[in-house]
Amino acid sequence: MEETLALAGRLHFDHEDLQLALRLITNTGVRTRHLVQPIEMTLAHPGLEERNRVYVREAKRRIPSVVSQALRNAAITTDEVDAIILVSCTGFTMPSLTAWMINELGFRRDTRQIPIAQMGCAGGGSAINRAHDFCLAHPSSNALIVACEFCSLCYQPTDLAVGNLLSNGLFGDAVGAAVVRSSGGRGIRLERNESRLVPGTQDWISYAVRATGFHFLLDRRVPGTMQELAPALGEVCLAHGWDATELDFYVIHAGGPRVLDDLSSHLKVKSAAFERSRETLTEYGNIASVVVLDALRRTIATGLVPEGARGLIAGFGPGITAEVTLGTWTAG
């Protein structure tokens, strides 16, 4: 945080809203972030082609170890993976990196490929839901989720609106992976998934695709959508016979502290219920689609969730969309 504030002050010393931007960055609660390149290289803009080359290079460098760990955690091998769901909104390849993974990491040639590229921060929840759908449609199968987000490669030095300066101090880089098994395993037994969209908000979180790459657009009204999405989460729970205010654990996308605060208020649950999501935000920043995977990792690591506990996973992103999952905790 200290480096970010000092850097923003040096780069934008003559910006008329600098003090406001510094205050907003401070209020995010983000203490540390990880960037895929040194800060000097991150601030340079060598062009879209070079940035995408860095994206591909670093993804191929970092995905294998994360995938290997996820497979060990799930006690399965590459031969037992029937689908790979790759989610990313910060770079582009065709064919998808799923094809590279099959060729280079030892997966079967008939492994299904399900790339998700335009769900933004909701991508993590979307990937979990599509893995759930796949395993329901194909009994005895296993799906691997890989989320790869290098948000720093979308930094645009000419975007000087306060919202963009805030984003420069909020987003971080991360790679995460998880396995959804049709049976067995430890973690959340997925029981229901649904999607909700807030009408008329499709321009509130978006990319403007220009010659210089992806320019992130964020409307100041985004946190206010929790007033509509909280009841939607309640509806999903009610349809499953649950009360959204009385669940045992919550894995929520940490877009920022305001989102978590507003959701806590409108959902009528204590702020402490989102503690794992706040830890992700504090230690990594907003890592887009990887947030829910990291918050889930932290939930597992506590060892405090009892057998049979009921919980909710929710990812929010462009649309504005909520990807919602309900499940029960199992120790395997």
Residues whose CB is less than 8 angstroms from the CB of residue 198 and which lie 6 or more positions away in sequence, other chains included: 225, 228, 229, 319, 320, 321
Torsion of CA 67, 88, 159, 321, to 10 degrees: -130
Strand segments (E) across 64-200: 83-87, 112-116, 142-150, 173-181, 187-197
Cis peptide bond upstream of 63, omega within 30:
no
CB atoms within 10 A of CB 183: 10
Task: Determine whether 308 is exposed, middle or buried from the number of CB atoms within 10 Å of its CB (0-12, 13-18, 19+).
Answer: exposed
Largest Cα separation within the chain, whole Å, is 60
- Supply the DSSP string of 40-81, one letter for each residue: HHHH----HHHHHHHHHHHHHHHHHHHHHHHHHHHT--GGG-
Which residues are part of the catalytic machinery? 121
How many angstroms separate the CA atoms of 153 and 172, rounded? 10
Q: Which two tokens stand for residue 258?
A: 């305001």
3-state secondary structure of 142: strand
Q: Given CA atoms 104, 109, 114, 118 in this order, what sign does their dihedral have?
A: positive
The SS3 of residue 273 is: helix
Give the number of other Cβ atoms within 10 Å of residue 156's Cβ.
17
